[in-house]
Amino acid sequence: MEQYKIIEVKESVFADNDREAARLRQELKRDRTFLLNLMSSPGSGKTTTLRGTIARLQSDLRIGVMEADIDSDVDAKAIADTGARAIQLHTGGMCHLDAGMTEQGLREIGTRDLDLVVLENVGNLVCPAEFDTGAVKNAMILSVPEGHDKPLKYPLIFTVCDVLLINKIDVLPYFDFDMDKVLAYAHMRNPNLKVFPISAKTGEGMDAWCTWLRQQTEGWIR
């Protein structure tokens, strides 16, 4: 009988990526750079939230942003206007970034003179959650118009994230969005999930979120 080997390709790919991500985190610790992986669906307000975050933190922290997208450089231009260092990462059609792609971006942006680097991942709630990018913390944005049932439909991203930003709370009166339910569903997936209701447009809740991010960054780079 012919002998052959069966390889679980998906498991192998994830295992290799996890090792690469762990090594990347060690290098970031050595360089004293905090990497935040920011995920969400398209239209949730990632770039507007980032601009508001940069405005509140750039007097205290040296900030860089890696904008990941299938194509276009619209978001990188918007971030560069804030004065933060920004680069655009084109994924060539891929719907996520892995540790290797993230490392390539970090080499290009340069980390030794940056305290905080934010990776704005490709906009969707599935693929980005599957790959460890090497980030110190994972954050996601859920906007009010998306509905309160997303933790039930997309469990993995809520499981792997450390922080949930519930954005666009200024339009709560106009949508059937139950804040109590979304908190219950999210904490069912991840009991330790930190939640910040915000409005990137009006600024409500942004100070609390930025205080948390500043504390996390300063704790990492010391």
pLDDT exceeds cutoff 70 at 171: yes
pLDDT exceeds cutoff 70 at 6: no
State the average pLDDT over residues 1-13.
60
Q: Is the pTM of this model over 0.85?
A: yes
- Residue 126: name the closest of 140, 116, 136 by CA: 140
- Structural domains in the chain, CATH included, are 9-221 (3.40.50.300)
- Report the alpha-carbon distance of residue 40 to residue 33 in Å, rounded: 23
Identity of residue 171 = V
pLDDT exceeds cutoff 90 at 170: yes
- Residue 184: name the closest of 151, 146, 209 by CA: 151
State the average pLDDT over residues 165-179.
98
Number of residues assigned to the chain = 222
- Report the alpha-carbon distance of residue 140 to residue 129 in Å, rounded: 10
